[in-house]
Structure 1
Amino acid sequence: MSDALLQATDLHKSFGNGVRAVDGVDLTVKPGETLGIVGESGCGKSTTARLLLRLLKPDRGSIEFDGHDLTRVRGSRLRQLRGQLQFVPQHPMTSLNPRMTIGGSIEFNMRAHGMDRGARRVRVPELLDRVGLPPAHADRYPHQLSGGQLQRVAIARALATSPKLVICDEAVSALDKSVQAQVLNLLVELQRDLGVAYIFISHDLAVVEHVSDRVAVMYLGRVVEESATATLWSDPRHPYTKALLSAVPGRDRKRIVLSGDPPSPVDLPTGCRFRTRCPEAIEACVDLDPGLVPSRDDRDHNVACVHVKPWSFVGAAVPS
């Protein structure tokens, strides 16, 4: 897509033990929007984030960010692009130096991207104020702040280089509900004011619904459904998505209980990898490995399922 800020195409990443953690992922993020990524633990969400951040090198595929292929750039150019692509982790305490003040940690990120000392000293209190913390917190140490305050520091640090895209990996899952709401509202407010785009990774569907414009659902290393958030919630089409949404409290849906456990990513089933748990599986699912294709009646609603037309499959003949 020519208007995409980030476009990942056919991303693959396997590890030495044979685990196919990411197995043909396509993702698109437009400027100023939020893409949510959901799925069970172990489905490849966090590995995908590390690939997009170039903390891991993909085995195959491309990552176009702001007109550059991140899989090909190196050295100072990669460092420069990373300033535009930042990260908010699940546990900020583990990513902050306990011997460094909060202000020092924020400055460190700016210094790494070439900002001079005078500009850094001016920007730190501005950033703390922007995320709702007193500028005096710049002189405190991580152990002196609460979990919610530390997450605000992590957001301030991510914003220090004026990024175009911030990847939030389970950024509020360790916080209690009231603090979660405050941090989520802060992220929405910052997006509105600064125009920053987010990739928001979470297992909490209610949180993703609150912040996301579009949602990608992952299962065993692949995206199985992707659409606008409102569309996905009102009209889920992949059986796995239907099961996930049926478990969200307060929804008027019959609970769909999946049988068994996810297959091992080392030994995936033939055909559709969800078929061993799918309540809608048919004989064709044993052989056909469905690719992510637009639905016939909504080209912005992409689904990887034999029940969705038009038919398009990876490594299999198209049925007549």
Structure 2
Amino acid sequence: MSTVLETPEVAPTSGRRRPLILVNDLTKTFGNGVRAVSDVNLTLYAGETLGIVGESGCGKSTTAKMMLRLLEPDSGEVLFDGADIHRLRGRELKALRRRLQVVPQNPQTSLNPRLTIAESIAFNMSAHGFSRAERARRIPDLLDRVGLDPSYGERHPHQMSGGQLQRAAIARALATDPEVVICDEAVSALDKSVQAQVLNLLADLQRELGIAYVFISHDLAVVEHISDRVAVMYLGRVVEEGAAEEIWNDPRHPYTATLLSSTPGPDRSRIVLDGELPNPAAPPSGCGFRTRCPLAADVCAQEWPTLTVRTPLHHASCVHQDPVPLMRPA
């Protein structure tokens, strides 16, 4: 029996909800001169899923690490419920860690091979002040909630499949009752059928618990299915953002159209780009996508366009105002 990827219910419009995370003008340059993230602005509302998509090296994981305070930005800020997380210390920082959790790409490396699954979950809970009795009571319930028999808590990571391990990693993230979970390529290492199961699980948990997700992936089709809104990144910048349905049906940036053309769809022709991803340490002048863009014009070499409003919830950083055609022959 094949596994069907369910389309999650559409969340309420952002105007009615509380901004939980605000990313303002975030920039990060590494010691080798690579500007991994440039002036990124994002908003995550309570209870929604924000998808971040782009090629490897586009800056999406670096952005996530700064949102988790695993990296310090050169400039800009990340506000969690109004507080700048990079200024928090001591108890305030510990409280943030409890409210903000992560599901990493590869649970085989993120779960300690010497600990059982229950011990890994208990370790996270212990770090945030849960008593031994609370841990013993909650861990079986957490495993059951993610679709694992509680007996799996006694297994070590090598005794479980990739899908089971990712479910265990989700249980570990849920153990502190977080408000936000950042999923960094959380299904990219799984088979397609298992991907669908995990995505459906995440959607179910969101409906039950009201969690907000930041869902990072290079696969726009996966992001579109699970996300309320999508931000598309290229060469360290957000080049398009909007409601998932608008991004999918009406892309306004050539790079977004290129990503879409590589996903299955009726009457959709593949757009083949010339050239390679530019060197982030020496990016081209103007729009960083212009050296690969089939619509590039002289004006594109002057400066990187700012995000321009196309519809109230849809913005793109491209000088071309018309919708991008997807039906371009390869």
**Which residue does the alignment assign to 2:313?**
300
**Which residue does the alignment assign to 2:77?**
62
Compute the displacement of 1:308 (Å): 3.5
**Which residue does the alignment assign to 1:199?**
214
**Which residue does the alignment assign to 2:288?**
273
Alignment of 1:97-116 (within 5 A): 97-116=112-131
Q: Tell me whether 1:42 sits opposite 2:40 in the alignment.
A: no
Alignment of 1:245-264 (within 5 A): 245-264=260-279
Q: Which amino acid aligns with 1:203?
A: H
Alignment of 1:70-109 (within 5 A): 70-109=85-124
- Alpha-carbon deviations, 1:253-286, whole Å to 9, x = none? 2321111011100001111111111111111111
- Which secondary structure does the structure 2 equivalent of 1:192 belong to? helix
> Greater CA deviation, 62-71 or 218-227?
62-71
Compute the displacement of 1:225 (Å): 0.1
Tell me, in whole angstroms, the C-alpha distance in 2 between the residues paired with 1:23 and 1:251: 35
Alignment of 1:1-320 (within 5 A): 3-295=18-310, 298-308=311-321
**Which residue does the alignment assign to 1:313?**
none
Q: Which amino acid aligns with 1:187?
A: L
- Which secondary structure does the structure 1 equivalent of 2:123 belong to? helix
- Alpha-carbon deviations, 1:193-223, whole Å to 9, x = none? 0000101111112211110111100000000
Tell me, in whole angstroms, the C-alpha distance in 2 between the residues paired with 1:151 and 1:157: 10
Superposition TM-score, scaled by structure 2 size: 0.91
Tell me, in whole angstroms, the C-alpha distance in 2 between the residues paired with 1:308 and 1:78: 44
**Which residue does the alignment assign to 2:10?**
none
Compute the displacement of 1:248 (Å): 0.8
Compute the displacement of 1:291 (Å): 1.2
- Alpha-carbon deviations, 1:53-97, whole Å to 9, x = none? 000001100101122111211222111111111000110010111
Gap change, CA 1:251 and 1:221, over 3 Å in 2: farther
Gap change, CA 1:99 and 1:180, over 3 Å in 2: same
Q: Which amino acid aligns with 2:315?
A: N
Gap change, CA 1:251 and 1:62, over 3 Å in 2: farther
Compute the displacement of 1:137 (Å): 1.2
Q: Which amino acid aligns with 2:268?
A: R
- Which secondary structure does the structure 2 equivalent of 1:268 belong to? coil
Tell me, in whole angstroms, the C-alpha distance in 2 between the residues paired with 1:80 and 1:214: 27
Tell me, in whole angstroms, the C-alpha distance in 1 between the residues paired with 2:259 and 2:221: 11
Tell me, in whole angstroms, the C-alpha distance in 1 between the residues paired with 2:267 and 2:41: 31
- Which secondary structure does the structure 2 equivalent of 1:41 belong to? coil
Gap change, CA 1:266 and 1:252, over 3 Å in 2: same
- Which secondary structure does the structure 2 equivalent of 1:80 belong to? helix
Tell me, in whole angstroms, the C-alpha distance in 1 between the residues paired with 2:207 and 2:65: 26
Compute the displacement of 1:244 (Å): 1.0
Tell me, in whole angstroms, the C-alpha distance in 1 between the residues paired with 2:153 and 2:197: 21
- Alpha-carbon deviations, 1:164-210, whole Å to 9, x = none? 11000111111111111111110000000000010111111221111
Compute the displacement of 1:224 (Å): 0.1
Tell me, in whole angstroms, the C-alpha distance in 2 between the residues paired with 1:77 and 1:308: 45
Tell me, in whole angstroms, the C-alpha distance in 1 between the residues paired with 2:204 and 2:134: 24
Tell me, in whole angstroms, the C-alpha distance in 2 between the residues paired with 1:71 and 1:92: 27
Compute the displacement of 1:299 (Å): 2.0
Q: Which amino acid aligns with 1:122?
A: R
Runs of 4+ in 1 over 4 A off after TM superposition: none
Provide the aligned C-alpha RMSD in A.
1.3
Structure 2: segments with no counterpart, 5+ residues: 1-14, 323-330
Tell me, in whole angstroms, the C-alpha distance in 1 between the residues paired with 2:101 and 2:119: 18
Q: Which amino acid aligns with 2:218?
A: H
- Which secondary structure does the structure 1 equivalent of 2:77 belong to? strand
Tell me, in whole angstroms, the C-alpha distance in 1 between the residues paired with 2:160 and 2:255: 40
Q: Which amino acid aligns with 1:308?
A: Q
Tell me, in whole angstroms, the C-alpha distance in 2 between the residues paired with 1:184 and 1:244: 20
